Chain A
């Protein structure tokens, strides 16, 4: 039995997407910049993908720029906008619980001379809007707040944050890292006033190595990689056509009957949370209601180091993450859990279960059953 509950780390590629990627890679392999028919054929795949994404986000096709994934999109948004708008000011704002792709880029920009404010979060992991209001100043040029936190699943009050920012000064750019939100929510950047939005292919059953950045048409941005001036010189480099085609199809598929799928995930999540509450000395980080993403469940199990419980589940064929999968190789304590003020006993004793539209009730039952067996057994042997 293989139960994959690590969908916030990455997802299984839709087989249809895999087939399309293969076809574009091996058969329709032209370079979209080529003048001949093969090039035009390749360009068609890009156009189709762009149209899909533009339809989903209700934006223009010209506002989509493909990148190698979430990390690059975040880098391009922050570095590209900071440099392009330097004359207007040197102050940037973000939250203290962003993904490392944001936090480390901000640290880099600090080295370049920008000033960065890191907003604190409340116990549920939501940014404090008063702190945002206080942080805004005449030098502020960009605010970046993630859509859904990747470790505990909290949905950020992005809409309110945008309103506050734009009320203060409508020319301040607003970026959101929606890697965990795209494919789970209907997000319409233009209506919400979001200027830039990051998304990634492999979190929505698409290929790895592909993502995109929505860049509103009025946004001033500079490239961060230089070359053949593809994608209107915002992102040089031959387009990853197989990935772009795959990302487009994956987005189309995941947004098909999205509400039905997320409702089902919410049901399973509630069922799982109910089951977890029967294990003593456990806690659920973040929120349990609509304020939290439908697919992420962060559970603290006192007395068992997360790595041990993770491997114990792995032995039974259940795959989960400790903290955030992207940084799980470095057994450092999670900054997010600290940020939300999680109590000490849970800091290195927290697992993240993340579901997908393929998760079933049977899988959740089996997972709960396994936890009921493992947890008391592992608690017997602890470090002294």
Chain B
């Protein structure tokens, strides 16, 4: 079957009252962006509270659906056949041919659901339902009508043109990116942080990201891995501004001056500070991390409190209640898992102590940080100033 259009169903946007146009416009924008690299000519438009993707000429169906399934805000994608508005005799032919091609096995129950947005059409919805239902029954005697729980709900929408559709392909849900401000994601190269980014973008938040590397302790490949991860997340979240910070000097300085079992927490406190600096510079409204309670020593409630204490922006942790297994499931779904498990050291693991503190006390941390007073501000400033900044997006 050749479909000429996709009717886009969206959920929550529908209830957004006076701001609704803003959400719809964002959705249209995101759909256009997602379809940029797909073979075909697409016309994305909104009309009477619906968004349509009309396809001119040949296009790649699988790629189109695949791309649409990555646009947050879409709840369902309905591949539709588009025909000219015509008198009922022709419409019957169109519907019969649709049923014939989409459902090779005719042993099914159905129901016609006509909508007449174009009120100039000479019949009302009920009349159209009856006429088309009869026509299908006549053409395919194996079918039967069930108005309560049909196998196939055959939608016929009469607008400037007629859209015939019956299948709904699920979309990712959420809200269109760009409708809820932006946030700074701490991206590590592990399994969790890309998932945290995905979850945040799903609620319409635009992402920036920051990655800390520690050459020569971490390799160029570890950095490329993180860029790859950012690119995979950007398939959902749109272009990501990625900050790559050289953290080596800060790390070595902490290592030299502070108790080793506190190293990880102190490092994370400085990472949060640096991330927040970038966030504020770019007007981000919060930080995002992939932490989940108790997963590792630096993610106990006490540790989270200790790292949280240095931030003034809210820190969002979308995975806070997730088990590893659940995080892995999402990372597999969004294709980041394979990349995440490549075995490169990240800067959190290189100097990790055998027994890191699991219940750090904030005052103690602050006291340890006094040992760093001599040089740390300068090191942080250098790290911020020398950060490499790049725009990462899906290749198309």
Contact = CB atoms under 8 A, between A and B. Distances in A.
A381 B255 contact: yes
Interface string B216-235: 11111100000000000000
Contacts of B131: none
A383 B355 CA distance: 12
Interface string A42-59: 000000000000000000
Q: Which of A307, A310, A311 has the most CB of B within 10 A?
A: A311
A259 interface: no
User: Which interface class (under 10, 10 to 19, 20 to 34, 35 or more) fits A?
Assistant: 10 to 19
B21 interface: no
> Range of interface residues on chain B?
10 to 19
Interface in B20-47: none
A130 interface: no
Contacts of B256: 381
A315 interface: yes
Given A331-B343, A381-B252, A311 B215 contact: yes
A332 to B, nearest CB: 9
Interface string A290-307: 000000000000000001
Contact of A311 (B217, B252, B260, B352): B217
Contacts of B252: 381
B345 interface: yes
At the interface, is chain A mostly helix, strand, loop or mixed?
helix
B350 interface: yes
B281 interface: no
Contacts of B351: 381, 383
B260 A384 contact: yes
A183 B345 CA distance: 36
B135 to A, nearest CB: 57
Interface in A314-359: 314-315, 329-331
A331 B256 CA distance: 27
Contacts of A315: 215-216
A267 B191 CA distance: 49
18 contacts: A307-B345, A308-B216, A308-B217, A308-B350, A310-B216, A311-B216, A311-B218, A314-B216, A314-B220, A315-B215, A315-B216, A329-B221, A381-B255, A381-B256, A383-B350, A383-B352, A384-B260, A384-B353
Interface of A: 307-315, 329-331, 381, 383-384
Interface of B: 215-221, 252, 255-256, 260, 343, 345, 350-354
